[in-house]
Structure 1
Amino acid sequence: GVPHSTSDGRRVWNDSKGFKSPFKNLGQWLESLDISLPSPLTPVCYGGIFAAKQTKIKSIPKVKWEAIAKSLSRGDNIEEGYFAERTWAGLLSAPLSEEEQWSIIGKRSYVNRVAAKDGGGRLGALVK
């Protein structure tokens, strides 16, 4: 789990109360926000730290940012936070060129199709 603060200021690791999203998966969450990511390959962030150009941030309509913020306002340690974390790179980075995509596809051995028991993990990741 991820450490987070509770409303009374305690730090907890595995508080799963209220964690599960009303959305079945990342795809449904993105669809509800009317967000589409690059295809067939999408860059993904597996962490809460990333960098983005200001121009890229400003290129996303304000209404989208407001919808994302509203979705994340349900709580501190929620599944939607993990969905957002995996969305940042696809939303805020330059799309991969066709040549880069073919290079990546050619070097992968398989696609991870197994989710971790907690529903997290790197489902969909290309693995060498």
Structure 2
Amino acid sequence: MIPTRLHALTDYLFPAGIAALSLAPRRGRATRRIMRVGPVWHYGYTLLTRYEGGLVPALGMRTHLACDAVGALTFVGAAALLQDEPARDRLLLAALGLAELALIAASDRDAPRDATLRSAHRH
């Protein structure tokens, strides 16, 4: 299992990487939009998660992982539906979504109790 501390680190690094990938000069317009909106959505619920990476402990880890799944399936769905986008962009979207689903499957579903308490005491 991937511990929540490591998952939290990926929650900050991967969306930044996706946003950076959106800047490729030949990226399709729709792909670029998805790759810019996705990280904003991801950072929003990451900050609200009750784990080592969260700032406002409002969402449990299982809810966080459900939000991860929504984002991942959005990328996979976009890859399937955006027929006018370049094949390389559709493959990238599918790969990003599938990688996220793999991370979800391997992640611990419960934040450590002490991380939850520390987070609650900060506020």
TM-score clears 0.5: no
Higher relative contact order (CA 8 A, sep 6+): 2
Q: TM-score, normalised by structure 1?
A: 0.26
Q: TM-score, normalised by structure 2?
A: 0.27
Structure with the bigger percentage of helix? 2
Larger radius of gyration: 1
Structure with the bigger percentage of strand? 1
